[in-house]
Chain A
Amino acid sequence: MTLDALRDVPVLRLEECSPNVSGLTLAAYLAPEELRPAAAKLLGKAYFLEDVSVVEVSEGFLGVYHFDHFDAPGRIALRVLIPKDAPELPTISDIYQGASWHERECRDFFGVTFAGHENMTPLLLAAEDAEFHPLRKGDKALKSLTDLVPDGEGGPQAGDVAAFLAAAEESEAPGTPSDVTGSADGHESDEVSAT
Chain B
Amino acid sequence: MTSSASPGRFHLGGDFYTNHFEKGGSPDTMILNMGPQHPATHGVLRVIFELDGEYILRTEPVLGYLHRMHEKMGEEQTYYQYMPNMGRVDYLHALAWNWAWAGAVEKLGGIEVPRRAEFIRVITCELNRISSHLLWWGAFLLDLGAFTPIMYGFDDRERILDILQRPTGSRLTYSYYRLGGVAADLDDTAQRMIRDFVLHLRSRLPMYRDLVTGNMILRHRLEGVGHISVEMCRRYGATGPTLRGSGVAYDVRRAEPYSVYPELNFSIPTDDDCDGMARYNVRMAEIEQSLDIIEQALDMLPDGDFWVKNAPKPKWKAPKGEVYFAVEGARGKIGVHLVSDGSATPYRVKLRAPGFSNLSLFAEVTRGTLLADAVAILGSLDMVIPEIDR
For the complex, give the distance between the alpha carbons of A188 and B88 in Å.
Answer: 34
**CB closest chain-B residue, reference A22:** B323
Chain A nearest CB from B343 CB (Å) reads 9
* Inter-subunit contact A50/B352 (CB<8 Å): yes
B28 at the interface (CB under 8 A from A): no
**CB closest chain-A residue, reference B72:** A134
A51 at the interface (CB under 8 A from B): yes
Residues 16-51 of B at the A interface (beta carbon under 8 Å): 16-17, 19-20, 23
For the complex, give the distance between the alpha carbons of A69 and B371 in Å.
Answer: 33
* Inter-subunit contact A51/B337 (CB<8 Å): yes
For the complex, give the distance between the alpha carbons of A98 and B362 in Å.
Answer: 11
Indicate whether A134 sits within 8 Å of B69 (C-beta atoms), given known contacts A51-B335, A73-B256, A127-B16: yes
A87 at the interface (CB under 8 A from B): no
* Inter-subunit contact B16/A195 (CB<8 Å): yes
| Of A144-152, A162-170, A171-179, the one touching chain B | A144-152
Indicate whether A75 sits within 8 Å of B324 (C-beta atoms), given known contacts A97-B236, A98-B360, A124-B389: yes
* Inter-subunit contact B319/A150 (CB<8 Å): yes
For the complex, give the distance between the alpha carbons of A168 and B378 in Å.
Answer: 44
Chain A nearest CB from B338 CB (Å) reads 9
Q: Mark A74-88, 1 if CB is under 8 A from B, else 0.
A: 010100000000000
Chain A nearest CB from B130 CB (Å) reads 25
Q: Interface extent on A, as a size class?
A: 35 or more
Q: Mark B310-347, 1 if CB is under 8 A from A, else 0.
A: 00000000011111111000000101010111100001
* Inter-subunit contact A125/B322 (CB<8 Å): no
For the complex, give the distance between the alpha carbons of A19 and B237 in Å.
Answer: 20
B370 at the interface (CB under 8 A from A): no
Contacts of A100 in B (CB 8 A): 360
B64 at the interface (CB under 8 A from A): yes
Indicate whether A22 sits within 8 Å of B361 (C-beta atoms), given known contacts A48-B234, A98-B235, A194-B16: no
* Inter-subunit contact B235/A96 (CB<8 Å): yes
Contacts of B323 in A (CB 8 A): 21-23, 155
* Inter-subunit contact A135/B71 (CB<8 Å): yes
Contacts of A135 in B (CB 8 A): 71-72, 75
* Inter-subunit contact A19/B322 (CB<8 Å): no
B107 at the interface (CB under 8 A from A): yes
For the complex, give the distance between the alpha carbons of A83 and B122 in Å.
Answer: 44
For the complex, give the distance between the alpha carbons of A127 and B19 in Å.
Answer: 12
Indicate whether A23 sits within 8 Å of B324 (C-beta atoms), given known contacts A53-B337, A73-B256, A123-B63: yes
For the complex, give the distance between the alpha carbons of A51 and B350 in Å.
Answer: 9
For the complex, give the distance between the alpha carbons of A51 and B332 in Å.
Answer: 13
Which residue of B16, B67, B321, B340 contacts A152 across the interface (Cβ within 8 Å)?
Answer: B321
A14 at the interface (CB under 8 A from B): no
For the complex, give the distance between the alpha carbons of A125 and B63 in Å.
Answer: 9
Contacts of B23 in A (CB 8 A): 194
Chain B's interface: helix, strand, loop or mixed, by majority? mixed
Indicate whether A98 sits within 8 Å of B324 (C-beta atoms), given known contacts A50-B333, A51-B352, A73-B255: no
B176 at the interface (CB under 8 A from A): no
A49 at the interface (CB under 8 A from B): yes
Q: Mark B251-285, 1 if CB is under 8 A from A, else 0.
A: 00001100000000000000000000000000000
For the complex, give the distance between the alpha carbons of A157 and B337 in Å.
Answer: 17
Residues 56-99 of B at the A interface (beta carbon under 8 Å): 63-64, 67, 69, 71-72, 75
Contacts of A134 in B (CB 8 A): 69, 72
Which residue of B233, B321, B364 contacts A150 across the interface (Cβ within 8 Å)?
Answer: B321
A111 at the interface (CB under 8 A from B): no
B356 at the interface (CB under 8 A from A): yes
* Inter-subunit contact A24/B324 (CB<8 Å): yes
Contacts of B325 in A (CB 8 A): 23
Which residue of A22, A71, A73 contacts B324 across the interface (Cβ within 8 Å)?
Answer: A22
For the complex, give the distance between the alpha carbons of A70 and B71 in Å.
Answer: 27
For the complex, give the distance between the alpha carbons of A130 and B361 in Å.
Answer: 24
For the complex, give the distance between the alpha carbons of A134 and B324 in Å.
Answer: 23
B348 at the interface (CB under 8 A from A): yes
A180 at the interface (CB under 8 A from B): no
Q: Mark A38-50, 1 if CB is under 8 A from B, else 0.
A: 0000010011111
Residue among B236, B237, B326 with the most chain A CB within 10 A?
Answer: B237
B357 at the interface (CB under 8 A from A): yes
Chain A nearest CB from B84 CB (Å) reads 20
For the complex, give the distance between the alpha carbons of A73 and B337 in Å.
Answer: 17
Contacts of A96 in B (CB 8 A): 235-237
Indicate whether A194 sits within 8 Å of B72 (C-beta atoms), given known contacts A66-B337, A100-B360, A148-B339: no
**CB closest chain-A residue, reference B351:** A51
Contacts of B364 in A (CB 8 A): 97
**CB within 8 Å of A: which residues of B?**
16-17, 19-20, 23, 63-64, 67, 69, 71-72, 75, 107, 230, 233-238, 243, 248, 250, 255-256, 319-326, 333, 335, 337, 339-342, 347-348, 350, 352, 356-357, 360-361, 364, 389-390
**5 new A-B pairs (CB below 8 Å) besides A96-B235, A148-B340?**
A51-B350, A97-B360, A98-B236, A101-B63, A135-B72
Chosen A-B contacts, 18 in total, with CB atoms closer than 8 Å, are A22-B324, A23-B325, A51-B335, A55-B348, A96-B236, A98-B360, A100-B360, A125-B67, A126-B64, A127-B16, A147-B320, A147-B341, A148-B322, A149-B322, A150-B319, A150-B320, A152-B319, A156-B322
